[in-house]
């Protein structure tokens, strides 16, 4: 099977497993796991923040940041297609009693005008706008990135309005490689950042959040409440350290594979792709004009050994990652071509 459903399907390599097996560990609830501490220090430094905290998932990372930034009844501004709004099972409502105010972005990107319209005036009978969430890269929009200029602009504006800014950087590494911007430069445009180690970087588990020391101290408290206090987590953190050392620059190859796939599929009958969104490792394929449903296309591809997933409405999604080679992607493109030409009766 050539699995292009997500960059989360990667398995730890033998060398990563070796690093995990050899990790020094201790009880991280006591703050005594040296490998977790090293990972947290390294990510804090990479992101130019005072402190960082290892968490089990990107969802917990985002939800902890929302929790610490807000009070019950507050409003959080987020893009309509954002992960925090669509894929975190209403965690903001459940865990923090906040309401998300969605704004339509341009290919997932928010701008000052959109945010301005969403900020509530300060009447006692309205929710209090407290936080802006940006997503870079933007998953549902197809891995699109923010320019550093746009992020700076939005951050400066948020500051001016007294709002906090959280950056959902599950795939920030991809944005950095695609834009040639350092993680610290993007992170400087946010009060808090969450980054995933288990997407393109290929670690089996784990995310890290970063921010000011007092912010991270609060987040650690809530991490325990949310059930995310872990013991000898250094075994997992070692995979994250290995991933940061070996798997960041190679994301460029994933971007090349996605660009190739997008160019190939864009010409097929029944498929259309907004090539401008293909900046990193995600390809969203619009199949609205196909003669059969997206689910039917997926099942025909599966029979031929190719796995894609459902994207946004009437869309399919292909994600490249370190466990699929350029050759696999070429093979996938040729199978998709075959299946679509058959379906469209050409
Ligand atoms: C994957 C992802 C997350 C976190 O997902 P988990 O599966 O909880 O680790 C958060 N934000 C974005 C944009 C993502 O793509």
d(CA 88, ligand 1 centre) in Å? 8
Q: Which of 342, 273, 272 is nearest to 304 (CA)?
A: 342
- Please give the number of the atom of ligand 1 that sits closest to the Cα of 196: 9
Q: Is the dihedral of CA 45, 50, 55, 59 positive or negative?
A: negative
Mean pLDDT of 309-319: 89
Averaged confidence pLDDT in the chain: 97
List pocket residues of ligand 1, CB cut-off 6 Å.
57-59, 62, 83, 135, 139, 168, 170, 196, 199, 207
| Fold that domain 14-246 belongs to in CATH | 3.40.640
Residue with tokens 């025909």: 300
Name the band, by pLDDT with cuts 50, 70 and 90, for residue 346. low
Centre of ligand 1 to C-alpha 170, Å, is 6
pLDDT digits (tens, 9 = 90+) for 129-185: 999 999 999 999 999 999 999 999 999 999 999 999 999 999 999 999 999 999 999
| Helices (H), ranges, the chain | 14-21, 34-46, 58-69, 83-86, 91-96, 112-118, 148-160, 172-179, 183-187, 213-225, 234-246, 251-266, 294-303, 326-343
pLDDT in tens, 217-274: 999 999 999 999 999 999 999 999 999 999 999 999 999 999 999 999 999 999 999 9
- Distance from residue 267's CA to the centre of ligand 1 (Å): 30
- Residues of the chain above pLDDT 90, percent: 98
Q: To test the ligand 1 pocket, which listed residue (170, 227, 228) has its Cβ within 8 A of the most ligand atoms?
A: 170
CA-nearest residue, atom 10 of ligand 1: 58
Q: What is the pTM of this model?
A: 0.97
Query: The CATH number of 250-344 is which of 3.30.1360.200, 3.90.1150.10, 1.10.4030.10, 3.40.50.2000?
Result: 3.90.1150.10
Q: What are phi and psi of 144, to 5 degrees?
A: -75, 155
**Does the pLDDT at position 309 exceed 70?**
yes
Check: CB of residue 103 under 8 Å from CB of residue 79.
Answer: yes
* Distance between Cα 139 and ligand 1 center (Å): 8
Indicate whether 112 pLDDT > 70: yes
**Nearest one of 176, 157, 165 to 247, comparing CA atoms:** 176
Task: Name which residue leads in pLDDT, 233 or 312.
Answer: 233
Q: What are the Cα distances from residue 208, in Å, to 21, 36, 191, 286, 331?
A: 21, 10, 14, 33, 35
Determine the pLDDT at residue 48: 98
- Domain boundaries, given as residue ranges, for the chain: 14-246, 250-344
Q: Whose CA is nearest to atom 6 of ligand 1?
A: 58
| Band (311; pLDDT cuts 50, 70, 90) | confident
Looking at residue 200, what is its pLDDT? 97
Q: Determine the distance separating the centroid of ligand 1 and the alpha carbon of 83, expressed in angstroms.
A: 7
pLDDT of residue 345: 74
Distance CA 130, CA 244 (A): 32
Q: pLDDT confidence of 204, banded at 50, 70, 90?
A: very high
Residue whose CB lies within 8 A of the most ligand 1 atoms, among 5, 7, 59, 81, for a mutation test: 59
- Taking the centre of ligand 1 as the mean of its atom positions, its distance from the CA of residue 125, in whole angstroms, is 34
Provide the pLDDT for residue 314: 78
């Amino acid at each position: 099977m050539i699995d292009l459903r997500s960059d989360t399907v990667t398995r730890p390599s033998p060398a990563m497993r070796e690093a995990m097996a050899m990790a020094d560990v201790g009880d991280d609830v006591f703050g005594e796991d040296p490998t977790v501490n090293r990972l947290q220090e390294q990510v804090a430094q990479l992101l130019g923040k005072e402190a960082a905290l290892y968490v089990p998932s990107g969802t917990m990372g985002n939800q902890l940041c929302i929790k610490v930034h807000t009070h019950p009844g507050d409003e959080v501004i987020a893009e309509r297609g954002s992960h925090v709004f669509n894929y975190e099972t209403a965690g903001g409502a459940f865990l923090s009693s906040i309401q998300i105010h969605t704004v339509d972005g341009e290919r997932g990107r928010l701008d000052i005008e959109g945010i301005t319209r969403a900020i509530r005036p300060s009447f006692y009978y309205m929710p209090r706008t407290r936080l802006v969430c940006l997503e870079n890269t933007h998953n549902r929009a197809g891995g699109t990135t923010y320019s550093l200029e746009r992020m700076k602009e939005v951050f400066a504006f948020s500051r001016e309005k007294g709002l906090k800014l959280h950056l959902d950087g599950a795939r920030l590494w991809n944005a950095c490689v695609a834009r040639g911007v350092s993680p610290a430069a993007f992170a400087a445009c946010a009060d808090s950042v969450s980054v995933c180690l288990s997407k393109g970087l290929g670690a089996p588990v784990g995310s890290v959040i970063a921010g000011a020391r007092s912010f991270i101290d609060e987040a650690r408290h809530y991490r325990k409440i949310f059930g995310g206090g872990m013991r000898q987590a250094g075994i997992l953190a070692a995979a994250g350290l290995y991933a940061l050392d070996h798997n960041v620059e190679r994301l460029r190859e994933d971007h090349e594979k996605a660009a190739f796939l997008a160019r190939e599929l864009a010409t097929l009958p029944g498929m259309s792709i907004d090539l401008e969104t293909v900046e990193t490792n995600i390809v969203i394929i619009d199949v609205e004009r196909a003669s059969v449903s997206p689910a039917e296309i997926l099942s025909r591809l599966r029979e031929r050994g190719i796995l894609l997933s459902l994207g946004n409405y009437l869309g399919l999604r292909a994600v490249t990652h370190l466990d699929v080679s350029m050759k696999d992607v070429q093979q996938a493109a040729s199978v998709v071509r075959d299946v679509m030409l058959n379906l469209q009766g050409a």
